């Protein structure tokens, strides 16, 4: 009898724990519609970004670099791109949109630092490789998206155009669409980001890379 009661209690407890676990996971994957969306920022997003802001300034990127070759780079580029997405969900002139632009620019500065460029090879085509140039250019485009068309920073526009020309020339010269990220090493996903950056250029500025993208 006691054994039977014990089994019942065991299964009831297991069922309760399973329900809780499923509920937590559903909440993560399917958040309440009123909290998140293409025109809204969830209540936890900015708090998490501000936590990352402090962590990155305290050396989190360098610590990630000790774990894998793109640790520093990815820590900063994904942080900057996340701020871009937050900024695009704010009205022009809103304080949070201004903060998003500042943090995205700061992230781009880190990518251009010696630490950000260290793992990549200047001898590749494009210089530093498609991984570095593709992701960096994607962030550059995001920074321009946060600015009004008639008041974009001229130097940032020129930087985006320069990097896109470098990417397009590399694609046009290559026998394969999969450009190298490291000497003798290429991953298709890196070229996807680079092509997306060229398309972003053509939506923001005068279209000029449609032939390269189509090819």
Model pLDDT for residues 78-90, shown as the tens digit of each residue: 999 999 999 999 9
Q: What is the pLDDT of residue 90?
A: 92
pTM comes to 0.84
Note whether 153 and 197 are within 8 A (CB).
no
What pLDDT score was predicted for residue 12? 61
In this predicted structure, what is the pLDDT of residue 164?
A: 98
Please give the helix or strand (H or E) that residue 56 lies within, else none.
Answer: helix 45-57
pLDDT at 117: 97
pLDDT at 17: 59
Give the three-state DSSP class for 123. coil
pLDDT, residue 9, reads 62
- Segments making up each domain of the chain, as ranges: 1-30, 42-119, 120-215
Q: Among 200, 181, 201, 199, which Cα is nearest to 190's?
A: 181
Res 5: pLDDT? 60
Quick one: CA torsion of 147, 135, 128, 102, rounded to 10 degrees? 40
Identify the pLDDT of residue 40. Answer: 82
Task: Provide the phi-psi class of 76: left if phi over 0, else alpha when psi is between -120 and 50, else beta.
Answer: alpha
Look at residue 27 in the predicted model and tell me its pLDDT: 59
User: According to the model, what pLDDT value does residue 28 have?
Assistant: 54
Q: Where are the alpha helices (DSSP H) in 71-207?
A: 71-88, 95-111, 114-117, 129-145, 154-173, 188-204
Name residues of the chain where pLDDT drops below 70.
1-34
The predicted structure's pLDDT at residue 3: 66
Identify the pLDDT of residue 41.
Answer: 86
């Amino acid at each position: 009898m006691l054994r039977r009661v014990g089994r019942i209690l065991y299964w009831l407890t297991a069922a309760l724990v399973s329900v809780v676990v499923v509920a937590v996971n559903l909440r993560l994957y399917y958040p309440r519609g009123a909290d998140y969306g293409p025109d809204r920022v969830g209540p936890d997003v900015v708090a998490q970004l501000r936590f990352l802001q402090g962590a990155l300034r305290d050396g989190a990127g360098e610590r990630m670099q000790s774990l894998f070759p793109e640790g520093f780079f990815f820590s900063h580029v994904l942080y900057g791109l996340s701020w871009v997405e937050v900024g695009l969900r704010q009205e022009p002139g809103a304080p949070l949109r201004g903060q998003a632009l500042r943090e995205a620019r700061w992230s781009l500065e880190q990518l251009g630092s010696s630490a950000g460029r260290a793992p990549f090879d200047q001898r590749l085509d494009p210089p530093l490789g498609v991984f570095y140039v593709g992701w960096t250019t994607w962030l550059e485009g995001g920074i321009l998206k946060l600015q009004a068309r008639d008041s974009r920073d001229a130097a940032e526009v020129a930087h985006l155009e320069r990097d896109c020309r470098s990417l397009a020339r590399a694609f046009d010269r290559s026998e394969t669409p999969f450009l190298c990220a490291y000497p003798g090493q290429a991953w298709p996903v890196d070229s996807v980001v680079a092509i997306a950056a060229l398309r972003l250029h053509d939506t923001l500025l005068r279209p000029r890379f449609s032939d390269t993208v189509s090819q």
